[in-house]
């Protein structure tokens, strides 16, 4: 319970998980990632642009909550989703209900999820795999850009809020969830599931990294996080399906656009080298 006593503790725990992931996956000091990121931000305009754009879309996602409060909608598609899939979430939750599992899955949902995104960016920067760094930035941005309009205009309440027999389990582990964490994600921001789409996106991109350890970590984490959205009583099966489809599209587009970004960056570098050589010759 100590970890979930405050957002400060959660931030510390997330940092620790990132550091552990980095050390296990790269077998290097985490300081190497910090140094590499700082160096690239100062030297590479393409790197800086993608990094800043990613931060920008995360800020837009935060603004979405404020916009949503200004333009509230009175309709909700939860009843339709329940009609389509029945008591799937209820069955998952009550079949596997266990206090220890609740703690582990809350940890995965709240802490490991953001750690996967952060670690991906650190690993690809440290190993100079800029194509995957760009692809990750682009794919995460695409996830949010597609999801935000749905959250604004296709509201779907979380399963526990609609279904009388489904419990919301996170507050039993993280008592201040509604006040500390809820402002990051609205109660009716269900379809598509970003926890699904982003964790699966990270896993799909890791498959192209050549880092076997990171592929296993992201693959297993994505599977557990997808299970957690049902077990914890949050998302509908339809949300998960939408999230998987979004992940496939985002990772595919991310890889294609990243290849172009890497090519442009290489051309710019080649253009600089002759200029510097010419200056040194003078």
Say if residue 184's pLDDT is above 90. no
> Is residue 215 pLDDT above 60, yes or no?
yes
Over the stretch 45-66, which tens digit does the pLDDT of each residue have?
A: 999 999 999 999 988 887 877 7
How confident is the prediction for the chain on average, in pLDDT? Answer: 91
pLDDT of 35 strictly over 90: yes
DSSP string computed for 189-248: B-SS-HHHHHHHHHHHHHTTS--HHHHHHHHHHHHHHHHHHHHTT---HHHHHHHHHHHH
Reported confidence tier of residue 281, pLDDT bands at 50, 70, 90: very low
Rounded to whole angstroms, the Cα distance separating 226 from 247 reads 12
pLDDT of 270 over the 70 cut: no
| Distance separating alpha carbons of residues 195 and 185, to the nearest angstrom | 11
CA quadruple 16, 21, 27, 31: dihedral sign? negative
Measured distance CA(277)–CA(271) in Å, rounded: 11
CA dihedral (77, 81, 86, 87) positive or negative: negative
Region 266-272: mean pLDDT is 48
Whether residue 280 has pLDDT greater than 70 = no
What is the C-alpha separation between 71 and 69, in angstroms, rounded? 6
Query: According to the model, what pLDDT value does residue 159 have?
Result: 98
pTM score: 0.90
- In the chain, where are the structural domains located? 2-281
Residues 108-154 have pLDDT tens digits of 999 999 999 999 999 999 999 999 999 999 999 999 999 999 998 99
pLDDT at 273 over 80: no
Model confidence at 1, pLDDT cuts 50, 70, 90, reads low
C-alpha 128/C-alpha 55 separation (Å) is: 20
pLDDT of 176 over the 50 cut: yes
**HEC per residue, 86-134:** CCHHHHHHHHHCCHHHHHHHHHHHHHHHHHHHHHHHHHHHHCCCHHHHH
Q: Which of 67-71, 129-133, 159-163 has the lowest mean pLDDT?
A: 67-71
Residue 260: per-residue pLDDT: 81
Closest CA to 177 of 165, 187, 192: 187
User: How many whole angstroms separate alpha carbon 40 and alpha carbon 137?
Assistant: 15
CA nearest to 17, candidates 105, 116, 103? 116
| CA distance linking residue 241 with residue 275, whole number of Å | 52
The model's confidence at residue 262, banded by pLDDT at 50, 70 and 90, is low
For 165, the token pair is 């027999």
């Amino acid at each position: 319970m100590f970890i979930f006593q405050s957002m400060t503790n959660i931030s510390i725990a997330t940092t620790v998980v990132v550091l552990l992931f980095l050390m296990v996956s790269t077998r290097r000091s985490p300081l190497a990632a910090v140094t590499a990121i700082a160096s690239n931000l100062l030297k590479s305009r393409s790197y800086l642009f993608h990094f800043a754009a990613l931060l920008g879309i995360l800020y837009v996602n935060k603004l979405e909550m404020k916009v949503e409060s200004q333009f509230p909608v009175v309709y909700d598609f939860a009843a339709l989703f329940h009609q389509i899939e029945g008591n799937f979430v209820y069955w998952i939750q009550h079949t596997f209900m266990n206090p220890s599992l609740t703690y582990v899955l809350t940890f995965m949902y709240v802490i490991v999820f953001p750690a996967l995104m952060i670690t991906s960016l650190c690993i690809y920067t440290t190993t100079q795999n800029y194509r995957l760094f760009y692809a990750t930035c682009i794919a995460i941005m695409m996830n949010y850009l597609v999801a935000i309009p749905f959250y604004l205009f296709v509201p779907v309440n979380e399963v526990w809020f609609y279904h009388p027999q489904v419990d919301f389990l996170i507050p039993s582990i993280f008592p201040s969830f509604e006040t500390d964490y809820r402002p990051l994600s609205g109660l009716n921001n269900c379809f598509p599931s970003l926890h699904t789409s982003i964790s699966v996106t990270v896993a799909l991109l890791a498959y192209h990294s050549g880092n076997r350890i990171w592929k296993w970590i992201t693959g297993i984490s994505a599977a557990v996080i997808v299970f957690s959205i049902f077990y914890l009583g949050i998302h509908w099966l339809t949300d998960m399906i939408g999230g998987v489809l979004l992940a496939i599209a985002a990772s595919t587009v991310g890889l294609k656009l990243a290849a172009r970004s890497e090519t442009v960056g290489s051309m710019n570098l080649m253009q600089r080298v002759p200029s510097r050589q010419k200056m040194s010759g003078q």
